[in-house]
Amino acid sequence: MTTDGDSVSGSGSSYHYGDSVTVNGSGNIGIVKNQSPTIGGPQAPPVTPQEAIQQLERLLLELRAQVTPAGAGTIDANLPVIVSPESGPEARHGALMAVLGLATLAGEVGRPIIEAVGRVLELLGLA
């Protein structure tokens, strides 16, 4: 058995992200992908902080339509802080953490946002 992905357990819940493959016998070729689509689809990673922020903005606007009104409020409150060049590092970091939490709760559909937040934090030197 081969597993590729991340598993998270805690508080009685267990989540697995990525492929889980079981191989029996020999001569097996390929993997059947039965995954749900995620927001944004595959994209090239951004090179500059501004590109990373723009990509995150697009992803958050797509997610906004799929979350509860409270989740949409979290995006509405934090997106201006994330995209504004005048935002200080502490304010931007707090806003990124807020949308990261929302994306985590959204499950697989929020995975591209989790990755995008990580890139923004890294490119801004806030990681």
pLDDT tens digits, one per residue of 35-57: 555 555 556 667 799 999 999 99
Q: Quick check: is 28 in a domain?
A: no
Q: Quick check: is 3 in a domain?
A: no
Q: Quick check: is 23 in a domain?
A: no
pTM of the model: 0.65
Given this model, what pLDDT does residue 10 score?
47
Which range of residues forms the domain containing residue 62?
A: 49-123
Given this model, what pLDDT does residue 127 score?
83
pLDDT tens digits, one per residue of 101-123: 999 999 999 999 999 999 999 99
Q: Quick check: is 116 in a domain?
A: yes
Q: Quick check: is 33 in a domain?
A: no
Distance of CA 64 to the CA centre of its chain: 13
Distance CA 121, CA 97 (A): 10
Q: Quick check: is 2 in a domain?
A: no
Q: Could you tell me what percent of the chain has a pLDDT over 70?
A: 66
pLDDT tens digits, one per residue of 9-35: 444 545 544 556 666 777 666 555 555
pLDDT band at 4 (very low <50, low <70, confident <90, very high): very low
DSSP one-letter string for the chain: -EEEEEEEEETTEEEEEEEEE---SS------------TT-S-PPPSSHHHHHHHHHHHHHHHHTTS-HHHHHHHHHHHHHHH-TT--HHHHHHHHHHHHHHHHHHGGGGHHHHHHHHHHHHHTT--
Q: Quick check: is 42 in a domain?
A: no
Count CA atoms within 13 Å of residue 121 on its CB side: 18
Q: Quick check: is 31 in a domain?
A: no
Q: How many independent structural domains does the chain possess?
A: 1
